[in-house]
Amino acid sequence: MEKSLRYSVLRYSPSKIAGETINLGIIYVDEKNGLREFKHTKRLSRIKNFDDEISLETVKALLKGIEFDVNDSLVNSNFCLDDYIKFYINNFFFDEPKLIYYEKWEETVERINKIHFRFDYEKKDRPSKEDDIQLLGELLHEKIPSVKRNAQKVGRFNERIRYDFVSEEHKIKIFDFDGKDLNKLINTAKSWALNCMTDPEQNTCIIYRYSATEDLKQEELFEEIGKIFNYANAKFLNIDQGMQYIQSIKQA
């Protein structure tokens, strides 16, 4: 039987003005069946690399405290996700809960963990583009049941443009930059930036997959790709930001 769970991602941002965040943990709750669980990143060194001024001991204490609050059913038999997360409003904060349907709890939790804690896993175990698209599609379908996958729309110059997801008010294209020769994708980025600029409805969103590397040339090229989309004033979002964007969509 299909069941549903809600989950909320704990993020840390050293500066709300800059807008940069890193994922720390996730609370999973199935209120109907009395299930809940808190999972957090195992690679705390990434947090220090993200913000070299943060105290890892403070982060460890925070995660341990949340783990106790969520997982100890004897203490919190009437745990309410919405009430719990509203107290985290500063540098450490939870995003709006997302709803997803599932059959097996452990498999679904692991699938979502891999999306949000991508770098906790070896490269061979990280989610593929199709994995990301599937989860984005499930979240989108919950918001907009009529959303279509792999659909076309007519552009300003009567050209047909194919998107990964299309609804009446939203068009989403997903780019996979992971492990690709970015030099070969510059012109593709320019083409899609033009699509965004000339979109009659101005509702195109570009969601990308990209893992930073030590290859300085690749990093420079990715920065140029970002500039191309910024020049076009396009929504250019990573997977996490894309999920937050989807969550902000009003229920159809």
Domains in the chain, CATH or no CATH each: 3-125 (no CATH), 135-248 (3.40.1350)
Report pLDDT for 252. 60
Q: Which residues contact 72 (CB under 8 A, 6 or more apart)?
A: none
DSSP per residue, 50-108: H-TTS-HHHHHHHHHHHHHHHH-TTT-TT--HHHHHTT-BSSEEEPPPEEEEES-HHHH
Report pLDDT for 153. 94
Give the CA angle between residues 80, 26, 21 to the nearest 5°: 120
Write out the chain's pLDDT in tens, 252 residues: 679 999 999 999 887 655 678 999 999 999 899 899 999 999 988 888 888 889 999 999 999 999 999 987 555 567 899 999 998 878 899 998 999 999 999 999 999 999 999 889 988 898 888 998 999 999 898 888 899 999 999 999 999 999 999 998 999 999 999 889 999 999 999 999 999 999 999 999 999 998 877 788 999 999 999 999 999 999 999 988 888 888 888 766
Per the CB < 8 A criterion, the answer to whether 11 and 95 are in contact is: yes
Report pLDDT for 19. 64
Report pLDDT for 152. 94
Report pLDDT for 75. 56
